[in-house]
Structure 1
Amino acid sequence: MAEKLATAVIAEMFLEDSDDEESTDNIPLLGDDKSRIRGYTEDVVPFYTVDSFRRMFRIDIETYKILLGYMEGCPSFYPAGHGRREPISIYRQLLVTLWYVGGTDSITKIADRFGMSESSVISCRNNIFSELINMTDSFIRWPSIQEMADESQEFERRNGFPNIIEAVDGTHIEIKAPTSHPQSYVNRKGYHSIQLQCVCRCNMAFSHVFTGYPGSFHDARLLKNSDLWGDRLTKCNMVHHILGDGAYKKWVLTPYCDNGHLDLHQKKYNHLHSSNRVIIERAFAILQIS
């Protein structure tokens, strides 16, 4: 579950935030006594219903607890010493970061809601981002040789399609128009974005993530620029295959182009291909649920 937030955070790290100039500390501390909302995390959040928590923080409360458990095991959140001010708890840092990732509020508004300085909000965000990226390999990793064999069996049990271990596809993360070369970030749907390419297993768990290229990039071009391309001959142990849609031209298995003259075997192949490749579309749908 935590890999979903990790994926979103990795993508978020590619975006520039003009408020970063205010960051001064690595360990966020409770700030001065300006007029701010007090007690939100202590007196309000604990009384949210399950639905309210998900609506406010864009994450299931059980997933949040799992993620918090991982964060509490990170020694970097426990400085050897601090000054006269009390460090902000991991609990609050994570809630601040979830609010930042899940909404469009400015740093100033987030600081008001959580009763802390703007620089502390930025430090909270950066701390959580850093730890999530450090944790990435624990959640988003390529299958081992034995796991490839297991994945192949899982796919084959679905509808008999042999030697398939994963599916690849791309999606877009909408962004504000960059100041430099904004037109390069306009995708085919007409809005500014960066590309997110993911590969997932049969259970929709992500095994590879590649992001940061402008929205105008074609899926096939993005694949060739990713680190997957350089290792493509050995990634699947020279035996297995990855499914992709018609946008991809090489390496991955794609459907036959339906020109109205496909024979029965080609039609059957396309049907089985689509039935298996749908897992990556479902994985994206889950990732994007608000």
Structure 2
Amino acid sequence: MASWNEDTLKDWNDDSPLNEDTLKDWNDDSQCNEDDRSRQINEELTQYEAVGALVGHYCEMYMFKQPCRTSEQTGNLWVQGIMNGHDDRCPEMFRVDKYVFHLLCTKLEEHGLRKSKYVGIEEMVAMFLNTVAHGQCNRMIQERFQRSGETVSRHFHNVLQACLSLSSELIRPIDPTFRGTHRKIETDPRYYPFFKDAIGAIDGTHIQCVVPAAERDKFIGRKGNPSQNVMAVCDWDMCFTFVLAGWEGSAHDARIFDSAITNSSLNFPHPPPGKYYLVDAGYPTPNGYLGPYRSERYHLPDFRRQVGFRNINEAFNYYHSSLRCTIERTFGVWKNRFHILRNMRSYDFQTQVYLVCATMAIHNLIRRHSSSDSLFEQAENDNIVAEHDQAEASQPSPSNVTSQSSSHMNRVRDAIRDQIVHSLSNN
């Protein structure tokens, strides 16, 4: 057995150089495998650490997050405090009196607005009104009402959609047949009987807008800022009876007017035979639309700078402008009430268009149901000169406008002019 062991050991010894090389290779392979395993373990640990960090961040943000809006005066308590407080607080915060506020809530509920599990109708409407009345950003409304940004945004758009539905009820003529003469004209010797068949006024106004840089150029309006050109019709009660919003600021008033009266889907309240709207010199005057004499003084400040009429056409223009100025005063009340119209936030453009219609609907609701409103009372003062812009009136109508001036309306204008001159000569 020992001899065999010696032979075996001899064989092993004879093979020892090969075994040493093999062992060396094994050691090298082992070291490589060790390095690979170590590298793999480190990579796995790094991945686990990253996953752990993400899980920790998620838990911190959504499962164990620290409350941000923790004031004891919640939005609901703040609104109820205003409703139960001094009468001046509601108009200051929401630009409507208490009666109109509650009426608006009722109307919007009828038009689809629903309370949520945690937010009532009054608080939703208060958030919306505070936003549009003061031009507040989402973050300010979050703090005031102690709500999250998502909650504020969601209810803002819910109220906006209900206001759009309400606008179809409110932005239209009270009497679509336009029978009789409005009391504003009937009781004012400056306008009666000359303008007894006038049913309202038409004009355009520019509302600041926020659009992508690629579309900015076509929205640049007369004053060099991006805007949407809004055409509106108002009655002599200073209520809007039609609105067409969303046109680019570079669009001519006459193009928008032409679209409004020729597109049947827009439901424009056309004047019946014998009745007419007052328009300024920037519009064509087909049948039913009465404009001033061009190339003559027209705007009221021009007459106040130089008293008296240089010819009989200016006499007509003065009284036409004085009555048509109702729509400029209406625009003034609307913009002064809703400051967001002068400082539009970065909503998508369609939302900006909707805001025009929604705020006009609320404007009409206030006018028809508020017993006393300081903005309307101030606008009714004839000594207040409304803003106007003569730039567009001096431009010729675009060639693609299909509505052309009517010789019949020129004869109507001449007849009214002669009536006015005869009346002035007898006084």
What TM-score do the two structures reach when normalised by structure 2? Answer: 0.52
Deviations 1:21-72 (A, max 9, x none): xxxxxxxxxxx97311453433334246444443333444443232123234
1:150 pairs with one of 168, 171, 180: 180
1:34 pairs with one of 67, 88, 104: 67
Please show how residues 197-276 of structure 1 align to structure 2 within 5 Å: 197-226=231-260, 228-230=261-263, 235-251=270-286, 252-259=289-296, 264-276=311-323
Match of residue 17 from structure 1: none
Amino acid at match of 2:243: V
Shift of 1:136: 1.3
Q: Is the contact between residue 113 and residue 159 of structure 2 (CA under 8 Å) also seen in structure 1?
A: no
Unaligned runs of 5+ in 1: 1-31, 80-85
Give the whole-Å Cα distance in 2 for the aligned partners of 1:152 and 1:95.
35
SS in 2 for 1:180: helix
SS in 2 for 1:102: helix
Give the whole-Å Cα distance in 2 for the aligned partners of 1:171 and 1:55.
26
Q: Which moved more, 1:135-144 or 1:53-62?
A: 53-62
CA RMSD of aligned residues (A): 2.9
- Could you say if the C-alpha distance between residues 151 and 213 of structure 1 is closer, same or farther in structure 2, counting changes exceeding 3 Å? farther
Unaligned runs of 5+ in 2: 1-64, 298-308, 338-427
- Are positions 1:54 and 2:70 aligned together? no
Amino acid at match of 1:125: F
Deviations 1:180-213 (A, max 9, x none): 3202112111222111211011111111011011
Q: Is the contact between residue 174 and residue 191 of structure 1 (CA under 8 Å) also seen in structure 2?
A: yes
- Count of equivalent residues: 250
Match of residue 145 from structure 2: 114
Structure with higher Rg: it is 2
Q: Is the contact between residue 75 and residue 146 of structure 2 (CA under 8 Å) also seen in structure 1?
A: no
Give the whole-Å Cα distance in 1 for the aligned partners of 2:269 and 2:109.
37
Percent identity for Structure 1 against Structure 2 = 24
Deviations 1:83-102 (A, max 9, x none): xxx33100110011112223
SS in 2 for 1:170: strand
Please show how residues 136-175 of structure 1 align to structure 2 within 5 Å: 136-142=167-173, 144=175, 146=177, 148-151=178-181, 154-158=184-188, 159-160=191-192, 161-175=195-209
Amino acid at match of 2:126: L
Q: Is the contact between residue 283 and residue 291 of structure 2 (CA under 8 Å) also seen in structure 1?
A: yes
- Are positions 1:67 and 2:114 aligned together? no
| Bigger fraction of residues in helix | 2
- Are positions 1:282 and 2:282 aligned together? no
- Could you say if the C-alpha distance between residues 62 and 179 of structure 1 is closer, same or farther in structure 2, counting changes exceeding 3 Å? farther
- Could you say if the C-alpha distance between residues 78 and 93 of structure 1 is closer, same or farther in structure 2, counting changes exceeding 3 Å? closer
Q: Is the contact between residue 152 and residue 240 of structure 1 (CA under 8 Å) also seen in structure 2?
A: no
Shift of 1:164: 0.8
Q: Is the contact between residue 145 and residue 237 of structure 1 (CA under 8 Å) also seen in structure 2?
A: no
Give the whole-Å Cα distance in 1 for the aligned partners of 2:145 and 2:134.
14
Give the whole-Å Cα distance in 2 for the aligned partners of 1:67 and 1:186.
35
Match of residue 24 from structure 1: none
Q: Which moved more, 1:102-111 or 1:243-252?
A: 102-111
Q: Is the contact between residue 111 and residue 165 of structure 2 (CA under 8 Å) also seen in structure 1?
A: no
Shift of 1:152: 5.3
SS in 2 for 1:194: strand
Shift of 1:162: 3.1
